[in-house]
A and B are shown apart, each in its own frame.
Chain A
Amino acid sequence: MATEQLSLDPQGKPAATGRVGVRVFGYALPPSMWLLVLFGVPLGLLLWMSFQHRSITGTGGFTLENYQAILSEPAYLKFAWNTVLICTISMAVMLAIAMPIAYLLAFCVRARYELLLLLLFVLAGELNPLIRVYAWRMVLGREGVINYTLQAIGVIDAPIDVLLFSKLAVIIVLSTTYIPYTTIPIYASLKAVEPDLLEAADDLGARFSTRFRKILLPLAAPGIFVAIIIVYIPMFSEFATPALVGGTSGSMIGNAIQEQVLEAGNWGIGSAMSFLLLVLSAAVAFGGYRAARIKKLEAGA
C-alpha cells in the first residue's frame, strides 16, 4: 500500500514519486475538468447573473435590485412559504412512514420478503417520476378514483375539489415519489445495528420507547441525515410536480424560477431566486448534519 501513497506539495506538483503522481492526474483530471467547466462555471455564472442589472445582453453592471425585488414582492414570499411548508410536511410524513418501514424491513421481515420489498422500493424509484405524477391525477381528480368511489358508496354528494390542484395534492405526490429515497438509507443504517443489541436491551428490561430513543434513533441518525440530504433538498427545487398537480395554491419557488427564466426571460431575478434556494439547501444540509451528529453523540454518552 505504501507504494501507492504519495503526497503533493502545495504547488500541486508530485513530491517524490513522480510517476504515481502522473497516474493520479490521469484519473483525477478528466472528471475534475469536466465538472469545473460544466458544473462550476455555470453555478458561478448563476451567482454573477443574480447581481446584474436587467438588460438585453445581461451585463448591466453590479446591482442588488434582483434580491430587493424578490424580498419586497409578496407573491414571491408566498411561493417561498409554500415551498418550505410543502417540503417540510412531506419530509415529516415520509420520515414517519419510512422509519417503521425501515425497522420492519431490517428486523421483522423474513429474508426472502426483505429482498422482494427492497426491490419494489428500488424499482419505484427507477420509474419515470412524471408518469407517477400523472397517475395520481387519475386517483385524485374530480372524476378520479377516490371521488368516484366515495360518491358511489354515498359518503359524499359532490366531488371533493381540494384533492387535486392543491397543496395537499403536491404533498401526496411528493411523498410517494420520494419515499423510496427516504426509506433505503434509513434501512441501510439500521441494517448495520446488531440485532443482539436490541435483544440485550430487551432482556435488560428496556421498553420499546427506551430502545427506540437510546438505540434505534441514534443508530439510524446517519441514514436519516442522508435521507434529508437526498430528499428534502431536491424537493425544494421541484417544479414539475407543483406545475402538474399544484394548481395556483400549490405553486413553489421552482415554478417562479422556471417562469422568470424561461417565460419572462428575466435571468437576473431567476438567478437570484436560484441562489437563495441554494443557500436554503445548504442550511438544511448543515442543520441535518448537526442534528445527526448530536444524535450520535447522545448515543455515545
Chain B
Amino acid sequence: MFLAIVVLLLYGPLLILALFSFNDSIIIALPFEGFTGQWYTDALSNPVLLEGLRNSVGVAFVVMPVSLLLGTLAAFAVTRFRYKARGPVAGLIGAPLVVPWLLIGVGALIFFNRINVPLSLKTITLMHITVAFPLVAAIVGARLVRFDRRVEEAALDLGATPREVLRYIILPHVMPALAASAIFAFSYSFNNFVISFFTGGFEITFPIWVFSTLRHAQNVPIVNAISTLVSVLQVVIVLVAWRLAAGSKRTGGSLDADAVAGVFAGQVK
C-alpha cells in the first residue's frame, strides 16, 4: 500500500501529462474536452523543437562512445594497478560526481570565455563527456573489482597473450557494465539541462527548449505531446536494456548491481 502510493507519486503526474497531450483544448485543465492528435502533429512540425531534439541526440551519440572509452581507461587505471599516484587519480576521477553541475557549468563558461572558444554544441559535448565518463568509470570499476584475477593468471599461465586475455576474459566480464554505462551516459547527456544551459551559448537542446518554453508560458500542449513521446522512448530503451541484462545474468553477469552502482554515482541534473 505504502509502496503503491510512492509509485503513484513517481508516475501519476507523468500519466496526467500524457493524458493532457490528447486533450482537445489549448488550455490544460480538467475536464477533458475530447480526443485529438493535433498536439503531436504540431510538435513534430515545430522547427525549433526538432532542431533541439536533433542536437540533443547528436551530442549524446558523441558523448556515449567517448565516455565509454575514457571511463573504461579510468576504471582500469584505478582498479587494476597499484601505484603511488592511484589515490590522487581516483580522487580526481571521482570528484566530478560530487561537485554540483551548476558549478561545473559556470566554471566551464568562464573557462571557454578566457581561452576564446565560442560556446557551441562542441563545448556542450566536451562538458557532457567531462561529467559522464567518471560515472562510466564508477560502473565499470565496480564490476572490475569483482573480477577474479586468478582466472586471468590461469589464462596467462596457459599461454594466452595479454591481448587475448583482454579480448576473451576481461571484456566479456565487463560487458554488462559497459552496456549499462552506455545507457547511463546517453541519458545523462540527453537529459542534461544545467551544463548545456551554461556552455551552449545560443544553441538549443531538447531540455533547453523545454525550459525556455515553460519559463514564460503556463502550460503548452505541444510540450505534453513531445514529453510523452520522449518518455515512452526512454522507457522502451531502459526496458530493452534490462531485458538484455536479465539474459546475460544467466551467463554470469549481473546488471542490477551495476545499475545500482550507476545510480549510486549518478546525480539527477
Q: Measuring CB to CB, which residues of chain A are less than 8 angstroms from any residue of chain B?
A: 1, 4-10, 12, 14, 20-21, 23-24, 26-28, 30-32, 34-36, 38-43, 45-46, 49, 58, 97, 100-101, 104-105, 109, 115, 117-139, 141, 143-145, 148-149, 176-181, 184-185, 187-188, 226, 229-230, 233-234, 236-240, 243-244, 254, 257-258, 261-262, 267, 270-271, 274, 277-278, 281, 285
Contact = CB atoms under 8 A, between A and B. Distances in A.
Interface stretch (B40-48, B77-85, B169-177): B77-85
A242 to B, nearest CB: 12
Given A176-B13, A257-B106, 11 more contacts: A4-B81, A5-B82, A6-B81, A27-B73, A101-B3, A122-B263, A124-B10, A135-B17, A180-B10, A185-B263, A274-B102
Interface of B: 2-3, 6-7, 9-14, 16-17, 20, 27-30, 70-71, 73-74, 76-78, 80-85, 89, 92-93, 95-104, 106-111, 113-114, 126-127, 129-130, 133-134, 137, 149, 153, 183, 187, 190-191, 193-194, 197-198, 206-207, 210-211, 214-215, 218-219, 223, 227, 230-231, 234-235, 238-239, 242, 256, 259-260, 263-269
Given A131-B17, A236-B100, A240-B269, A148 B29 contact: yes
A233 B70 CA distance: 25
B146 to A, nearest CB: 14
B102 A132 contact: no
A134 B209 CA distance: 13
Contacts of A28: 73-74, 77-78, 85, 89
B103 A138 contact: no
Contact of B76 (A20, A27, A145, A149): A27
A187 B101 CA distance: 26
26 contacts: A4-B80, A8-B85, A28-B74, A28-B85, A30-B70, A31-B71, A40-B92, A42-B110, A43-B103, A46-B103, A58-B113, A123-B235, A123-B238, A125-B266, A128-B234, A129-B269, A130-B207, A130-B210, A141-B218, A230-B97, A234-B100, A238-B269, A258-B197, A267-B110, A271-B110, A274-B102
Nearest to B69: A30
Contact of B16 (A7, A135, A143, A254): A135
B17 A138 contact: yes
A179 B10 contact: yes
A8 B83 CA distance: 6
B130 A39 contact: yes
Contact of B266 (A7, A133, A181, A254): A181
A23 B76 CA distance: 10
Contact of B214 (A105, A109, A144, A244): A244
Contact of A128 (B10, B104, B227): B227
B110 A128 contact: no
A46 B77 CA distance: 29
Contacts of A271: 106, 110
A52 to B, nearest CB: 10
Give the interface SS of chain B, mostly helix, strand, loop or mixed: helix
Contacts of A1: 149, 153
Contact of B70 (A34, A131, A179, A281): A34
Contacts of B106: 46, 257, 261, 270-271, 274
Contacts of A128: 190-191, 206-207, 210, 227, 230-231, 234
Contacts of A237: 100-103, 194
A240 B194 contact: yes
Nearest to A185: B264
A49 B108 CA distance: 12
B77 A240 contact: no
Contacts of A122: 238, 259-260, 263
A35 B93 contact: yes
A143 B30 CA distance: 7
A81 B39 CA distance: 41
B263 A131 contact: no
